[in-house]
Structure 1
Amino acid sequence: MAKILMITGDFVEDYENMVPFQALLAMGHQVDAVCPGKGKNDSIATCIHDFEGHQTYTEKRGHNFTLNAEFDQVAASEYDALYLPGGRAPEYLRLDNKVLAIIKAFAASNKPIAAVCHGAQLLTAANVIEGKKISAYPACAPEVRQAGGEYVDLQMDEAITDGKFVTAPAWPAHPALLRQLVALL
């Protein structure tokens, strides 16, 4: 089975963090969930985004999620794949140089990288998607294009694979996203 790294953080989208983490574990994979500035057994706060008739989504507090590995000990060479959940966490995680270096190392090693929703912000900040077909939450489309990627507007329950990148617009795409990621493993 594969060893998968999940880079996450406070106010990650609850479903995009919890569901893939648990599903990949249930399949028998090892998943190390890490966050800069926090250690193994520390918790992050999650949030739940919902559509309630406004022009954008609302945000509510989600569950606490316990990290199970140390960010400071991460070496991309020890992992088979990378998973990047969305929510608000990517907007500040992309400012961390070590996070970007890890993403670049996975891309340079041609290892599978899955990103959902705003997780694409990490891919754009790392400058690893030039010429790739990438989906994300529609609000991230300008960033995908500015980073040289081709933004693909999918239904919320669809995912796309281009090379070793598997991306999707939101958590309803988990079945497709995880199926495509596991196929690359």
Structure 2
Amino acid sequence: MKKILFLTGDFTEDYETMVPFQMLEMVGYEVHTVCPDKKKGDIIKTAIHDFEGDQTYTEKPGHNFVLNYTFDDVNVTDYDGLVIAGGRAPEYLRLNATLLGMVQYFFKENLPVAAICHGIQILTAANVVKGRTLTAYPAVGPEVRLAGGEFRDIAADKAYVDGNLVTSPAWPGHPAFIKAFLDLLGAKITL
């Protein structure tokens, strides 16, 4: 069974953690959800971000999400792919040097990586977007450019693939985002 490492944390976007986690498990992957300084069984709080016609998204309390693996027990060589959730969590998760080293490993080994919304802030902090083309929530676009990446401003329900990396602006892109990630993983779903 292929294993996926899933980086998330307090005030991650609810859908961007819950939906990819459940979809990847549904198709047979073992998904380890982790957060620095937390262990298996700890809870993270999520936030629901919605698009209601304001200048930016709105934020409401989400669900409690139970982590199923301990961050300190992660051995990156055990994993076939990486998922990074968005929301507010990436703004503080990107300060963790161990986490950034984990992200760098997946790029060094050219393994599939999926990052959504503000999760791209972790990629820019890990210094892995230089020369890459990707998308993110539009407010993260300047960070992508400053980190040497080419930012694509695409519709929120789309995803963009550049080599081993799939990105999407926000949770409305889940169908395209997850499909592209599954393609990178070599998954075959037949009807």
The two structures have a TM-score, normalised by structure 2, of 0.95
Q: Where does residue 89 of structure 1 map in the other structure?
A: 89
Identical-pair percentage? 58
Give the Cα separation in 2 of the matches to 1:166 and 1:148: 17
Corresponding position: 1:107 with 2:107: yes
For residues 76-116 of structure 1, the C-alpha deviation after alignment (integer angstroms, 9 at most, x for no partner) is: 11100000010000000000001100001111111111000
**Counterpart AA for 1:55:** Q
Pairs within 5 Å for 1:48-63: 48-63=48-63
Q: Where does residue 189 of structure 2 map in the other structure?
A: none
Give the Cα separation in 1 of the matches to 2:122 and 2:19: 20
Give the Cα separation in 1 of the matches to 2:147 and 2:184: 24
Corresponding position: 1:65 with 2:57: no
Give the Cα separation in 2 of the matches to 1:114 and 1:106: 11
Corresponding position: 1:80 with 2:80: yes
Give the Cα separation in 2 of the matches to 1:120 and 1:38: 22
Give the Cα separation in 2 of the matches to 1:73 and 1:118: 25
**Counterpart AA for 2:67:** L
**Counterpart AA for 1:163:** G
Residue aligned with 2:63, SS: strand
Q: Where does residue 16 of structure 2 map in the other structure?
A: 16
Displacement, 1:53? 3.1
Give the Cα separation in 1 of the matches to 2:166 and 2:81: 11
**Counterpart AA for 2:60:** K
Which residues of structure 1 form unaligned runs of 5+? none
Displacement, 1:75? 1.4
For residues 110-156 of structure 1, the C-alpha deviation after alignment (integer angstroms, 9 at most, x for no partner) is: 11110000000000000001111111000000000011110011111
Q: How many residues align?
A: 185
Moved over 6 A (4+): none
RMSD in angstroms over aligned alpha carbons? 0.8
Which sits farther off after the overlay, 114-123 or 54-63? 54-63
**Counterpart AA for 2:129:** I
Residue aligned with 2:99, SS: helix
Displacement, 1:57? 1.5
Give the Cα separation in 2 of the matches to 1:53 and 1:173: 18
Give the Cα separation in 2 of the matches to 1:40 and 1:49: 26
The two structures have a TM-score, normalised by structure 1, of 0.98
Give the Cα separation in 1 of the matches to 2:53 and 2:101: 39
Q: Where does residue 125 of structure 2 map in the other structure?
A: 125
Give the Cα separation in 2 of the matches to 1:46 and 1:121: 18
Which residues of structure 2 form unaligned runs of 5+? 186-191
Give the Cα separation in 1 of the matches to 2:76 and 2:83: 12
**Counterpart AA for 1:70:** T
**Counterpart AA for 2:37:** G
Give the Cα separation in 1 of the matches to 2:44 and 2:99: 17
